[in-house]
Amino acid sequence: MTLNQYIDFTLLRPNASVAEIMTLCAKAVHHQFYAVCVPPCYVEYAAKRLKDTQVKVCSVVGFPLGYNTLQSKMAETRELIIKGAQELDMVINLAEVKNGNWFYVAEEIETFVLLCRKKDIISKIIIEVTTLSQAETMAICEICNKILPDFVKTSTGFASSAKIGEEPFRVNWIRETLSSNIQIKVAGGVSSPYQALAFIEKHGVTRIGTSTNFAEILE
């Protein structure tokens, strides 16, 4: 199996420089990764660098904490689409999850997904599963089953809790509950190509978000 087309090659550090983004894009093209995932401020730059290549431009909404208002998230979504994002990963409002405010959680996910769908943009819902109970994870997945985002993504990689790479059982919670029409993106603590392959082959994952260049490790 070639891992490259499963990879969202990621650089979301708050102090990332334009030179580092340039290198990220160049390596993504060289290794034929599926996408780069860059901070919102670099979307327009990445879109220009990757024009006429097969590499997609992904960015993040409400990142990394998710407690932005729905209106601000939708404004950010619209702006990033205009600037050239082809895929968007939105952090849900985890405060409202903990409040049990499922109506708000569903409204937020649906508003985001419908906007992306209208603009032909791939939508990914970041649920920060390492901070959730199994019941909370399953409740979010059931909401997603009714709305049908393109992906559910496990985590931002910024949470202080255990990394998903160390807790693959949490991915099983998602896959067992989630509709087969919705794909899974794993991110956060997947630091080796062998971990990535295990998620793909054993847990039904179809996209890996990572800042580690697996292609160079395997060379």
DSSP-derived 3-state class of residue 155: coil
The whole-angstrom separation of Cα 173 and Cα 211 is: 25
Catalytic residue (choose from 56, 73, 124, 185): 185
Peptide bond before residue 40 is cis, with ω within 30 degrees of 0: no
Is position 153 annotated as part of the catalytic site?
yes
* 151-153 vs 207-210, strand pairing mode: unpaired
Catalytic residue (choose from 56, 73, 124, 153): 153
CA nearest neighbour of 210 among 3, 47, 1: 3
CB 80 within 8 A of CB 53: no
Catalytic residue (choose from 56, 89, 124, 150): 89
Q: What is the DSSP string of 91-122?
A: E--HHHHHTT-HHHHHHHHHHHHHHHHHTT-E
Is position 185 annotated as part of the catalytic site?
yes
Is position 48 annotated as part of the catalytic site?
no
Residues 6 or more apart whose CB falls under 8 angstroms from that of 52 comprise none
The residues pairing with 89 across neighbouring beta strands, listed in sequence order, are 60, 124
Catalytic residue numbers, as ranges: 89, 153, 185
